[in-house]
Amino acid sequence: MVVVGSERRQALEAVAPGGTLTLPLGDPEAAARAIVAAGIGRPFRAVVPTDDLTAEVAARAQALLGLPHNPPEAARAARRKDLMRARLAAAGVRAPRHRLLPIRPSPSDTALAAWAAEVEYPVVVKPTFLAASRGVIRADYPAQLIAAVRRIEALLERPDAIERGDLEARSNLLVEEYVAGDEVALEGILRAGELHVLALFDKPDPLVGPFFEETIYLTPSRRPPAAQRAIAAATSAAAAALGLSEGPLHAELRIDAKGPIVLEVAARSIGGLCARTLRFGTGLSLEEVVLAHALGRDDILAEREERAAGVMMLPILRAGILNEVRGAAAARAVPGIEDLVLSTAVGQPVEPLPEGHAYLGFLFARADRPQEVELALRDAHRRLEIVIGP
């Protein structure tokens, strides 16, 4: 039996009693104890996180249940960007140079201006705990840094941001060097500390700021084999530096003239609906591969299918109300397009980065070569007309 844990009571409970569990996810230790208590008489065989917030909860619950697990502090470090940067630096793993900017209490304009004058630009300013590029802003000179800090401070006072991080996490901002270069994402499984690469994604659209909204992911990567091995090695070194050893892993890296630089390593699988891009063996989904590992069934782990695949996360260009999405049928008719999923309902408010944290939807494509996938995604996107009203 599968039990779904969430911080709010789920409608599923009405039709599947016992199939959901309401957890205090803001308190990982209490949430882990609640999982263990719910398993009395029917001990859980696996606890699988689905996002950054639940990664530490899962690690603590797995430890209490005697299951293979990441050390809870390692899972916490993977979620907290400031702790991650400190561990990577201590281990000598290539990552952006960084400084912490205390914002509790909020610095005065004078103090912030003096701090900004000492920074080597360009930099990227970000919260220590939010995901999906939320609150991540590039600054090329002091005035931009000051504006970014004030904007992020306001964001961190919003209820949906407060519930994602404790007071310690919200007390500092991370200010790190901007790294020029292409960006890639690696999806993997850690087995007793050994990284098994499931997929390497290219991101063909430049991510140069001022905000960093991701759009297209393509796999397999078109990078040379030696470059792919270097990316895997850097990811493995980063996981070891954080102390991660078990379960799904999602990493983001940039590639400069010297090789890969680790931006993020998360103790969970890829977010949103992007996992639908991946198929393994005879058609296994990424979720099935992750569950198989969690249940100790690494014998059924398989390699990714040979065909190229990709996803386009439909960007939100401005804030407002989603009034209409036109051209969906034409987009779905593009050769190579497998599906168009609109995850935002008409009539709902939408908000772009850096304050927003959702996409309008997802386009999925599959073809013989990555180039064909990319062309299909771009062609389908051009056929969509997103109507956003005030």
pLDDT at res. 43: 84
pLDDT at res. 260: 98
Q: Tokens 């956003």 sit at which residue?
A: 388
Cα separation, 259 vs 383, in Å, equals 37
> How far is CA 73 from each of CA 55, 87, 176, 243, 297, rounded to the nearest angstrom?
11, 11, 23, 8, 26
pLDDT at res. 15: 59
Q: Tokens 């390593």 sit at which residue?
A: 265
pLDDT at res. 112: 98
- Asked if CATH classification 3.90.1170.50 holds for the domain at 308-390, the reply, yes or no, is yes
Cα separation, 331 vs 373, in Å, equals 13
State the amino acid at position 33 in one-letter form. Answer: R
Q: How many CB atoms lie within 10 A of CB 95?
A: 25
Cβ atoms 145, 111 nearer than 8 A: no
CATH superfamily of 180-306: ATP-grasp fold, B domain (3.30.470.20)
DSSP for 82-118 reads: HHHHHHHHHHT-----EEEEE-SSPPPHHHHHHHHHT
pLDDT at res. 300: 72
Q: Tokens 């390692």 sit at which residue?
A: 74
Using alpha carbons, select from 125, 251, 100, 231 the residue that is nearest to residue 178. 125
Identify the CATH class of 97-177: alpha beta
State the amino acid at position 260 in one-letter form. Answer: P
Crossing angle of helices 109-117 and 142-155, in 10° steps, is: 130
pLDDT in tens, the chain (390 residues): 788 898 877 766 655 666 888 999 989 999 999 999 998 888 899 999 999 989 999 999 999 999 999 999 999 999 999 999 999 999 999 999 999 999 999 999 999 999 999 999 999 999 999 998 999 999 999 999 999 999 999 999 999 898 888 899 999 999 999 999 999 999 999 999 999 999 999 999 999 999 999 999 999 999 999 999 999 999 999 999 999 999 999 999 999 999 999 999 999 999 889 999 999 988 999 999 999 999 998 777 778 999 999 999 999 999 999 999 999 999 999 999 999 999 999 999 999 999 998 899 999 999 999 999 999 999 999 999 999 999
pLDDT at res. 12: 61
Cβ atoms 304, 369 nearer than 8 A: no
DSSP-assigned beta bridge partners for residue 217: 311
DSSP-assigned beta bridge partners for residue 389: 321
> How far is CA 19 from each of CA 3, 5, 29, 49, 64, rounded to the nearest angstrom?
5, 9, 21, 16, 21
Cβ atoms 184, 250 nearer than 8 A: no
Cα separation, 270 vs 362, in Å, equals 14
Q: What values do phi and psi take at 45, rounded to 5?
A: -90, -15
Domain boundaries, the chain: 4-76, 97-177, 180-306, 308-390
Q: Tokens 């782990």 sit at which residue?
A: 301
Cα separation, 312 vs 178, in Å, equals 24
